[in-house]
Every structure is written in C-alpha cells, then in structure tokens.
Amino acid sequence: MDPLEHGDLTVVDGLQINNWDRKVLEELKAGGVTGVNATCAVWEGPQETLRAVADWYELARDNADLVVLAENADDIRQAKRDGRLAVLLGFQNTSPFGDDYRMVEVFHRLGVRIAQLTYNIQNLVGGACYDEHDSGLTAYGRFIISEMNRVGMLVDLSHVGNRTSRDAIDASAGPVAITHANPLSFADSPRNKPDDVIDALAARGGVLGCCLYPNVIGGEKTTRRQFCEMVAALVERIGPDHVALGSDCTRNWSQDYVAWLRNGRWRPASAVPVEPQWPVWPNWFGGPADFPVLTEGLLEVGLDETVVAQVLGGNWLRLFDTVFPGAGQ
C-alpha cells in the first residue's frame, strides 16, 4: 500500500472564523481542506445574522467553482469528489436565536448546522468559559438544545463554561462537539477543557477538535511535535473516534476585529486596559494552507493511517452523519 498522502484525505476543519473571500477560499484549497464549519455569527442578533447568511449565499454563488454550502456530511463527500470546499454555516453563539427557541428551526432551514451555546460570557442559554460563576444550562437553554436535537443542529461547547458544558452533554439527546479547544492539561487557558468535560463528551459519542489558536496551545513557541503528541495522547486516552481538529483560523481580518470578538457590544473598549491584538501563530501553522503539516506531524508521532484519517476529517463526518439527519423538515 502506498503511504498515506494528505491529498487522499477528506479533511474537515471543526472551525474557522475568517473574513471570507476568494483568496481565503483558495488558502483552504491549497491546504487540501474539503469541509469547514465557518462562523457566521459571534455577537450578532437574529437580523444581523440573516445578513451574514445572505453574505454566504452571495459568496458561494459568486465562487461556485471553489465552494458549496453543505447541509450534511454527504455534501462534504460530494465536494471532495468535485474538488470544492464544502462550508457548513455555524454560529459561535446562540445570540442569533434571540429569546425565541423557534429561531433554531428558522436558521436550520437557512442552512445553519452548528451552534455554540455561549461565546465567552453568560447568555440566555448558559455560562461561558470566562465567567466567574457559570449558571449552568438555563431553562431556555434546555429548550434550545431540545430544538437543536429535533431539527438536527450540532451543539458546540467551545467557549462554553464547564458546568454548562456538563449540563449540555447530559441534556442533549445525541452526541455534541467541542469544535475548537484543547485539554486543559496541555495549555492552561479558560478556553481549554478539563478531563471531566472531555470524558463526558466522549462517553456520549462526541468529538473534540484540537485547536491551533496560539492562545490555547501555549503560544507560538509550541512545536508541531508537541501539538501532535497532545493529539496522540488524547487519542490514547479517549479513543480514536473522539478526536479531530478545529483550527480556529482567523484569516483576512483587520486588527479591530479582535476588539469586536473580545468586547462585542457588552463592554466599552475603554474597559479593557490593553487593546486586544491578534496573537502570533506558530511558524509551522499560519493558516488553512498549512494543513498538510498536520497530517505529516500526526504520522510522525506514530498515529496509524486510519486514525490520522479519522482525526483529519473522518470523525467530524461520522458525527455529522449522526446529528444532521435528524433534520425535522
């Protein structure tokens, strides 16, 4: 058998939050990425999010040679055959649902397939990773999860508080995801996850996307080998079915977008002592074009080819197959 090549894999990235344009789409193509969860809301409410979704319809139509909007795993598999990128629309917050659980179905019909419950701070649904006191999953949050289960939308626990994450794993009828975070034991960040959350996620069939964002890998100095050894250790501990990647790439944004991510409209910029800056990425992974080095790195640390294929995309596809067909249309 020929050795595994990156180009043979159906590479699926658990999350990217780029400022999407044709050049960025080409970066993903250069990196051999076939599927991606593309963030189209962070702090936005229902109406603003409609515009973001409409932006995607337009971008996809204008670049149909490169990209297709996917609604399930088969759309991603088809994109692989067509040599295109399949984009799953995703939210990093439940703000697009406002206070109306029925907006889950509305956005599902518009093509949204993944929603993170909270983004950094407490919201109507639950507590977030930077909250001092995590409310746990709220009464409204339970209806949101039940509705996401019904229509077939994947619950994402990245940026979510640990208590709310445990509650959500228990509340969800099906497996859930942490699309972009690492074990807390690898790098000490509120964004990373303690073992009890990761274990509960895996026990229910969920998937964790190991994340390349500098702040959650211990900074730019972390080596490719260290990152890949963390992935391999996680595969060893929770099993090969539950580990994937979620790069958290942030391509093509200007500096002020960091301030939007951090402050939204919930606090004045003046409340933050130091103006937020984009972190420096490690020299071995600067963006979606660098995905091939991950395949290489995972093989180097001794993961077998089957497991590498699972981590690079197979596990996301299986999870999508499980969650998305619930579509209640």
Query: Binding residue for a second copy (CB under 8 A) from 6, 8, 63, 106?
Result: 106
Phi-psi bin for 253: left (phi > 0), alpha (psi -120 to 50), beta?
beta
Q: Is residue 110 a contact residue for a second copy (CB under 8 A)? A: yes
Residue 58 touches a second copy, criterion: CB under 8 A? yes
Q: Which of 111, 264, 279, 286 is the binder for a second copy (CB under 8 A)?
A: 111
Q: How far is 87 from 94, CA to CA, in rounded Å?
A: 19
Q: Which residues pair with 247 in a beta bridge?
A: none
Site for a second copy in 72-101 (CB under 8 A): 98, 100
Looking at beta carbons only, is 58 or 256 nearer to a second copy?
A: 58
Sign of the Cα pseudo-torsion (9, 14, 17, 19, in order): positive
Separation between Cα atoms, residue 324 and residue 37, nearest integer Å: 13
105 touching a second copy, by CB under 8 A: yes
Question: Between residues 2 and 99, which has the closer beta carbon with respect to a second copy?
Answer: 99
- Please give the angle made by the CA atoms of 249, 254 and 255, to the nearest 5 degrees: 95
Least separation in angstroms between CB 49 and a second copy: 10
Size of the site for a second copy (CB under 8 A): 21
Q: 63 or 215, CB closer to a second copy?
A: 63
Residue 40 C-beta: closest distance to a second copy, Å: 12
Where does residue 168 rank: exposed (0-12), middle (13-18), buried (19+ CB within 10 A)?
Answer: buried
Instruction: Quote the least distance from Cβ 161 to a second copy, whole Å.
Output: 28
Nearer to a second copy, 53 or 86 (CB): 53
Residue 305 CB, shortest distance to a second copy, in Å, is: 38
Query: Considering the complex, what minimum distance in angstroms separates the CB of residue 105 from a second copy?
Result: 6
Residue 310 token pair: 């699972």
Strand residues in the chain grouped as ranges (E): 11-16, 33-39, 67-69, 85-91, 112-116, 154-156, 177-178, 207-210, 243-245
User: Could you give the C-alpha distances from 170 to 19, 114, 195, 198, 200, in angstroms and in order?
Assistant: 34, 18, 16, 13, 8
Binding mask 36-55 for a second copy (x = CB under 8 A): ---------xxx--xx-xxx
Binding site for a second copy (CB under 8 A): 45-47, 50-51, 53-55, 57-58, 61, 98, 100, 102-103, 105-106, 109-111, 328
